[in-house]
Amino acid sequence: MSSNPDAIHNVGVVGCGLMGSGIAEVCARSGLSTLVYEVNAKALAAGRDRVERSLARAVERGKLTAADRDTVMSGLAFTTDLADFTDRDLAIEAVPEDEQLKIGIFTALDQVMARPDALIASNTSSIPIMKLGAATARPGQVMGLHFFNPVPVLKLVELVPSLVTTDTSWSRMRHFATNVLGRHVIVSQDRAGFIVNSLLIPYLLAAIRMFESGFAVAQDIDDGMVRGCAHPMGPLALADHIGLDTTLAVADCLYAEFKEPLYAPPPLLSRMVEAGHLGRKAGRGFYTYPSPLPL
Protein backbone atom coordinates (compact mmCIF):
# COMPACT_ATOMS: atom_id res chain seq x y z
CA MET A 1 0.00 0.00 0.00
CA SER A 2 1.12 3.57 -0.69
CA SER A 3 2.27 5.82 2.18
CA ASN A 4 0.48 8.77 0.56
CA PRO A 5 -1.68 10.29 3.34
CA ASP A 6 -4.42 11.00 0.78
CA ALA A 7 -4.59 7.33 -0.22
CA ILE A 8 -7.74 5.37 0.52
CA HIS A 9 -7.04 2.05 2.27
CA ASN A 10 -10.16 1.29 4.31
CA VAL A 11 -13.47 1.23 2.51
CA GLY A 12 -16.97 0.67 3.83
CA VAL A 13 -19.84 -0.38 1.58
CA VAL A 14 -23.35 0.30 2.86
CA GLY A 15 -25.78 -2.24 1.42
CA CYS A 16 -24.93 -5.64 -0.03
CA GLY A 17 -27.66 -6.16 -2.61
CA LEU A 18 -27.11 -6.47 -6.38
CA MET A 19 -24.88 -3.39 -6.58
CA GLY A 20 -23.36 -3.30 -3.09
CA SER A 21 -22.14 -6.90 -3.31
CA GLY A 22 -20.46 -6.16 -6.66
CA ILE A 23 -18.89 -2.95 -5.31
CA ALA A 24 -17.61 -4.78 -2.22
CA GLU A 25 -16.16 -7.52 -4.43
CA VAL A 26 -14.38 -5.03 -6.67
CA CYS A 27 -12.95 -3.13 -3.67
CA ALA A 28 -11.68 -6.33 -2.05
CA ARG A 29 -10.27 -7.53 -5.40
CA SER A 30 -8.34 -4.24 -5.53
CA GLY A 31 -6.61 -5.16 -2.26
CA LEU A 32 -8.61 -2.82 0.00
CA SER A 33 -9.79 -3.62 3.50
CA THR A 34 -13.53 -3.70 2.80
CA LEU A 35 -16.23 -3.59 5.47
CA VAL A 36 -19.76 -4.34 4.33
CA TYR A 37 -22.87 -3.21 6.21
CA GLU A 38 -26.35 -4.64 5.93
CA VAL A 39 -29.40 -3.85 7.97
CA ASN A 40 -29.76 -7.28 9.60
CA ALA A 41 -28.03 -10.68 9.82
CA LYS A 42 -30.24 -12.28 7.16
CA ALA A 43 -29.55 -9.57 4.57
CA LEU A 44 -25.86 -9.69 5.47
CA ALA A 45 -25.68 -13.47 4.98
CA ALA A 46 -27.47 -13.15 1.61
CA GLY A 47 -25.03 -10.43 0.56
CA ARG A 48 -22.00 -12.45 1.61
CA ASP A 49 -23.37 -15.42 -0.32
CA ARG A 50 -23.77 -13.22 -3.41
CA VAL A 51 -20.11 -12.15 -3.20
CA GLU A 52 -18.97 -15.74 -2.71
CA ARG A 53 -20.97 -16.96 -5.71
CA SER A 54 -19.58 -14.20 -7.90
CA LEU A 55 -16.02 -15.00 -6.83
CA ALA A 56 -16.65 -18.69 -7.51
CA ARG A 57 -17.77 -17.76 -11.03
CA ALA A 58 -14.66 -15.65 -11.51
CA VAL A 59 -12.54 -18.69 -10.54
CA GLU A 60 -14.55 -21.00 -12.85
CA ARG A 61 -13.99 -18.59 -15.73
CA GLY A 62 -10.29 -18.27 -15.07
CA LYS A 63 -10.46 -14.60 -14.02
CA LEU A 64 -9.17 -15.36 -10.52
CA THR A 65 -7.14 -18.15 -8.92
CA ALA A 66 -8.54 -20.06 -5.94
CA ALA A 67 -5.74 -18.59 -3.81
CA ASP A 68 -6.63 -15.05 -4.91
CA ARG A 69 -10.27 -15.74 -4.12
CA ASP A 70 -9.26 -16.67 -0.56
CA THR A 71 -7.19 -13.50 -0.26
CA VAL A 72 -10.14 -11.43 -1.49
CA MET A 73 -12.48 -13.06 1.05
CA SER A 74 -9.98 -12.39 3.83
CA GLY A 75 -10.03 -8.68 2.91
CA LEU A 76 -13.81 -8.55 3.44
CA ALA A 77 -15.53 -8.06 6.79
CA PHE A 78 -19.25 -7.89 7.46
CA THR A 79 -21.26 -5.97 10.04
CA THR A 80 -24.78 -4.93 10.97
CA ASP A 81 -23.49 -1.98 13.00
CA LEU A 82 -22.77 1.20 11.07
CA ALA A 83 -20.69 2.46 14.04
CA ASP A 84 -17.98 0.05 12.81
CA PHE A 85 -17.36 2.52 9.94
CA THR A 86 -15.56 4.88 12.34
CA ASP A 87 -12.07 4.23 10.85
CA ARG A 88 -13.07 4.16 7.16
CA ASP A 89 -11.34 6.46 4.66
CA LEU A 90 -14.26 6.12 2.28
CA ALA A 91 -17.86 4.91 2.56
CA ILE A 92 -19.77 3.93 -0.58
CA GLU A 93 -23.52 3.92 -0.07
CA ALA A 94 -25.39 1.37 -2.20
CA VAL A 95 -28.84 1.03 -0.62
CA PRO A 96 -32.08 0.99 -2.68
CA GLU A 97 -32.92 4.04 -4.79
CA ASP A 98 -34.99 5.82 -2.13
CA GLU A 99 -34.08 9.43 -1.36
CA GLN A 100 -35.19 9.44 2.29
CA LEU A 101 -33.42 6.13 2.97
CA LYS A 102 -30.20 7.45 1.44
CA ILE A 103 -30.44 10.76 3.34
CA GLY A 104 -30.78 8.77 6.60
CA ILE A 105 -27.66 6.75 5.72
CA PHE A 106 -25.66 9.88 4.85
CA THR A 107 -26.64 11.51 8.14
CA ALA A 108 -25.61 8.39 10.07
CA LEU A 109 -22.31 7.97 8.17
CA ASP A 110 -21.42 11.60 8.81
CA GLN A 111 -21.85 11.00 12.52
CA VAL A 112 -19.83 7.77 12.74
CA MET A 113 -16.94 8.41 10.33
CA ALA A 114 -14.23 9.85 12.57
CA ARG A 115 -11.50 10.76 10.07
CA PRO A 116 -11.89 14.47 9.26
CA ASP A 117 -10.91 13.84 5.61
CA ALA A 118 -13.14 10.77 5.13
CA LEU A 119 -15.07 10.73 1.86
CA ILE A 120 -18.68 9.62 1.44
CA ALA A 121 -19.84 8.49 -1.99
CA SER A 122 -23.19 7.34 -3.28
CA ASN A 123 -23.81 4.71 -5.93
CA THR A 124 -27.16 6.38 -6.60
CA SER A 125 -28.44 5.88 -10.15
CA SER A 126 -30.27 9.16 -10.25
CA ILE A 127 -30.61 11.19 -7.05
CA PRO A 128 -28.79 14.56 -7.20
CA ILE A 129 -25.67 14.40 -5.02
CA MET A 130 -26.26 17.83 -3.47
CA LYS A 131 -29.38 16.43 -1.74
CA LEU A 132 -27.22 13.74 -0.08
CA GLY A 133 -24.30 16.05 0.70
CA ALA A 134 -26.69 18.51 2.37
CA ALA A 135 -27.59 15.77 4.89
CA THR A 136 -24.00 15.87 6.22
CA ALA A 137 -21.72 18.38 7.90
CA ARG A 138 -19.09 17.67 5.21
CA PRO A 139 -20.83 18.22 1.84
CA GLY A 140 -17.45 19.08 0.29
CA GLN A 141 -16.42 15.44 0.79
CA VAL A 142 -19.51 13.92 -0.80
CA MET A 143 -19.66 12.67 -4.42
CA GLY A 144 -21.48 10.31 -6.73
CA LEU A 145 -19.57 7.13 -7.64
CA HIS A 146 -21.95 5.23 -9.87
CA PHE A 147 -21.15 1.65 -10.90
CA PHE A 148 -22.85 -0.58 -13.49
CA ASN A 149 -24.35 -4.02 -13.06
CA PRO A 150 -22.68 -6.55 -13.13
CA VAL A 151 -20.04 -4.50 -11.29
CA PRO A 152 -17.19 -7.05 -11.58
CA VAL A 153 -17.66 -7.14 -15.37
CA LEU A 154 -18.53 -3.57 -16.43
CA LYS A 155 -15.51 -1.33 -15.85
CA LEU A 156 -17.20 2.08 -15.97
CA VAL A 157 -17.94 4.50 -13.15
CA GLU A 158 -19.67 7.84 -13.37
CA LEU A 159 -18.08 10.37 -11.06
CA VAL A 160 -20.38 13.18 -9.98
CA PRO A 161 -19.27 16.20 -7.95
CA SER A 162 -21.91 18.39 -6.35
CA LEU A 163 -21.68 22.19 -6.54
CA VAL A 164 -19.66 22.18 -3.30
CA THR A 165 -17.41 19.11 -3.65
CA THR A 166 -13.86 20.29 -2.92
CA ASP A 167 -11.02 19.94 -5.43
CA THR A 168 -9.04 17.81 -2.95
CA SER A 169 -11.89 15.35 -2.42
CA TRP A 170 -12.49 15.22 -6.16
CA SER A 171 -8.84 14.46 -6.99
CA ARG A 172 -8.64 11.76 -4.31
CA MET A 173 -11.77 10.05 -5.59
CA ARG A 174 -10.77 10.29 -9.22
CA HIS A 175 -7.36 8.81 -8.44
CA PHE A 176 -9.00 6.05 -6.38
CA ALA A 177 -11.55 5.12 -9.06
CA THR A 178 -8.98 5.12 -11.86
CA ASN A 179 -5.81 3.82 -10.26
CA VAL A 180 -7.02 1.69 -7.37
CA LEU A 181 -10.28 0.26 -8.72
CA GLY A 182 -9.06 0.32 -12.33
CA ARG A 183 -12.29 1.82 -13.64
CA HIS A 184 -12.85 3.95 -16.70
CA VAL A 185 -14.18 7.25 -15.30
CA ILE A 186 -16.71 9.51 -16.96
CA VAL A 187 -17.72 12.78 -15.32
CA SER A 188 -21.25 14.11 -15.08
CA GLN A 189 -22.69 17.29 -13.68
CA ASP A 190 -25.03 16.86 -10.74
CA ARG A 191 -28.30 16.36 -12.61
CA ALA A 192 -30.82 13.57 -11.93
CA GLY A 193 -29.82 10.40 -13.81
CA PHE A 194 -26.33 11.69 -14.67
CA ILE A 195 -25.10 10.64 -18.14
CA VAL A 196 -25.97 6.97 -18.53
CA ASN A 197 -29.41 6.75 -16.99
CA SER A 198 -30.54 10.00 -18.66
CA LEU A 199 -29.97 8.15 -21.94
CA LEU A 200 -30.80 4.57 -20.91
CA ILE A 201 -34.05 5.04 -19.00
CA PRO A 202 -36.05 6.73 -21.83
CA TYR A 203 -34.99 3.84 -24.08
CA LEU A 204 -36.15 1.22 -21.56
CA LEU A 205 -39.41 3.09 -20.97
CA ALA A 206 -40.01 3.28 -24.74
CA ALA A 207 -39.62 -0.50 -24.96
CA ILE A 208 -42.04 -1.00 -22.06
CA ARG A 209 -44.58 1.32 -23.74
CA MET A 210 -44.15 -0.63 -26.98
CA PHE A 211 -44.84 -3.90 -25.15
CA GLU A 212 -47.71 -2.40 -23.12
CA SER A 213 -49.48 -1.14 -26.24
CA GLY A 214 -49.30 -4.56 -27.94
CA PHE A 215 -47.05 -3.20 -30.69
CA ALA A 216 -44.83 -6.33 -30.40
CA VAL A 217 -44.15 -9.24 -28.05
CA ALA A 218 -41.32 -9.01 -25.50
CA GLN A 219 -38.99 -11.46 -27.21
CA ASP A 220 -39.29 -9.68 -30.56
CA ILE A 221 -38.59 -6.27 -29.00
CA ASP A 222 -35.48 -7.69 -27.36
CA ASP A 223 -34.38 -9.68 -30.40
CA GLY A 224 -34.67 -6.51 -32.45
CA MET A 225 -32.04 -4.76 -30.35
CA VAL A 226 -29.81 -7.80 -29.73
CA ARG A 227 -29.75 -9.13 -33.28
CA GLY A 228 -30.32 -5.87 -35.13
CA CYS A 229 -28.15 -3.51 -33.09
CA ALA A 230 -25.72 -5.93 -31.37
CA HIS A 231 -26.72 -4.89 -27.85
CA PRO A 232 -25.72 -7.56 -25.31
CA MET A 233 -29.30 -7.61 -23.96
CA GLY A 234 -32.63 -6.37 -25.22
CA PRO A 235 -34.31 -3.53 -23.29
CA LEU A 236 -36.91 -5.65 -21.48
CA ALA A 237 -34.32 -8.22 -20.40
CA LEU A 238 -32.11 -5.32 -19.31
CA ALA A 239 -34.93 -3.75 -17.26
CA ASP A 240 -35.39 -7.16 -15.57
CA HIS A 241 -31.62 -7.31 -14.98
CA ILE A 242 -31.50 -3.82 -13.41
CA GLY A 243 -34.66 -4.52 -11.39
CA LEU A 244 -38.03 -3.02 -12.27
CA ASP A 245 -38.22 -1.28 -8.87
CA THR A 246 -34.91 0.46 -9.58
CA THR A 247 -35.96 1.27 -13.15
CA LEU A 248 -39.17 2.84 -11.81
CA ALA A 249 -37.35 4.77 -9.06
CA VAL A 250 -34.85 6.19 -11.55
CA ALA A 251 -37.64 7.16 -13.97
CA ASP A 252 -39.55 8.88 -11.13
CA CYS A 253 -36.43 10.81 -10.14
CA LEU A 254 -35.74 11.90 -13.73
CA TYR A 255 -39.36 12.92 -14.22
CA ALA A 256 -39.38 14.90 -10.96
CA GLU A 257 -36.27 16.79 -12.07
CA PHE A 258 -37.04 17.50 -15.75
CA LYS A 259 -40.85 17.05 -16.16
CA GLU A 260 -40.22 15.58 -19.63
CA PRO A 261 -42.82 13.00 -20.82
CA LEU A 262 -40.04 10.70 -22.05
CA TYR A 263 -39.08 10.08 -18.39
CA ALA A 264 -42.66 9.39 -17.20
CA PRO A 265 -42.98 5.75 -16.15
CA PRO A 266 -45.60 3.79 -18.12
CA PRO A 267 -48.47 2.43 -15.98
CA LEU A 268 -47.45 -1.18 -16.68
CA LEU A 269 -44.08 -0.61 -15.01
CA SER A 270 -45.77 0.74 -11.88
CA ARG A 271 -48.26 -2.16 -11.81
CA MET A 272 -45.48 -4.75 -12.16
CA VAL A 273 -43.56 -3.23 -9.26
CA GLU A 274 -46.71 -3.11 -7.12
CA ALA A 275 -47.27 -6.80 -7.99
CA GLY A 276 -43.74 -7.70 -6.87
CA HIS A 277 -42.69 -8.60 -10.41
CA LEU A 278 -39.34 -6.92 -9.92
CA GLY A 279 -37.37 -8.72 -12.62
CA ARG A 280 -34.59 -11.26 -12.39
CA LYS A 281 -33.98 -10.92 -8.64
CA ALA A 282 -37.66 -11.75 -7.94
CA GLY A 283 -37.81 -14.59 -10.49
CA ARG A 284 -40.40 -12.68 -12.53
CA GLY A 285 -40.51 -9.53 -14.61
CA PHE A 286 -41.00 -9.30 -18.37
CA TYR A 287 -39.63 -12.86 -18.35
CA THR A 288 -39.64 -15.60 -15.74
CA TYR A 289 -36.45 -16.89 -14.14
CA PRO A 290 -36.69 -20.39 -12.69
CA SER A 291 -33.57 -19.98 -10.57
CA PRO A 292 -31.14 -17.15 -9.84
CA LEU A 293 -29.03 -16.67 -12.94
CA PRO A 294 -25.27 -16.33 -12.79
CA LEU A 295 -25.03 -12.60 -13.53
- Catalytic annotation, pick one of 33, 146, 188, 241: 146
Q: If binding is defined by CB under 6 A, does position 191 make contact with ligand 3HC? A: no
Size of the site for ligand 3HC (CB under 6 A): 21
Backbone angles phi, psi at 234, to 5 degrees: -75, 165
Annotated active-site residue 125? The verdict is yes
Residue list 65-124, contact with ligand 3HC (CB under 6 A): none
Q: If binding is defined by CB under 6 A, does position 259 make contact with ligand 3HC? A: no
By beta-carbon proximity to ligand 3HC, the closer residue of 18 and 135 is 18
Residue list 7-36, contact with ligand 3HC (CB under 6 A): none
From the list 4-12, 148-156, 160-168, 269-277, the region that binds ligand 3HC by CB under 6 A is: 148-156
Asked whether 216 and 130 are in contact (CB, 8 A), the reply is no
Q: If binding is defined by CB under 6 A, does position 295 make contact with ligand 3HC? A: yes
By beta-carbon proximity to ligand 3HC, the closer residue of 138 and 183 is 183
Residue choice 15, 20, 139, 152 for contact with ligand 3HC (CB under 6 A)? 152
Q: If binding is defined by CB under 6 A, does position 195 make contact with ligand 3HC? A: no
SS3 of the chain: CCCCCCCCCEEEEECCCHHHHHHHHHHHHCCCEEEEECCCHHHHHHHHHHHHHHHHHHHHCCCCCHHHHHHHHHCEEEECCHHHHHHCCEEEECCCCCHHHHHHHHHHHHHHCCCCCCEEEECCCCCCHHHHHCCCCCHHHEEEEECCCCCCCCCEEEEEECCCCCHHHHHHHHHHHHHHCCCEEEECCCCCCCCHHHHHHHHHHHHHHHHHCCCCCHHHHHHHHHHHHCCCCCHHHHHHHHCHHHHHHHHHHHHHHHCCHHHCCCHHHHHHHHCCCCEHHHCECCCECCCCCCC
Residue choice 37, 148, 211, 286 for contact with ligand 3HC (CB under 6 A)? 148
By beta-carbon proximity to ligand 3HC, the closer residue of 118 and 251 is 251
Asked whether 137 and 110 are in contact (CB, 8 A), the reply is yes
Residue choice 23, 32, 119, 238 for contact with ligand 3HC (CB under 6 A)? 238
Q: If binding is defined by CB under 6 A, does position 242 make contact with ligand 3HC? A: yes
Annotated active-site residue 158? The verdict is yes
Residue choice 116, 232, 261, 290 for contact with ligand 3HC (CB under 6 A)? 232
Q: How far is the CB of 58 from ligand 3HC (least distance, A)?
A: 4
Q: If binding is defined by CB under 6 A, does position 163 make contact with ligand 3HC? A: no
> At how many degrees (to 10) do helices 196-212 and 235-242 cross?
120
Catalytic residue set: 125, 146, 158, 197
Footprint of ligand 3HC on this chain (CB under 6 A)? 54, 57-58, 61, 63, 125, 148-150, 152-154, 197, 200, 232-233, 238, 242, 246, 294-295
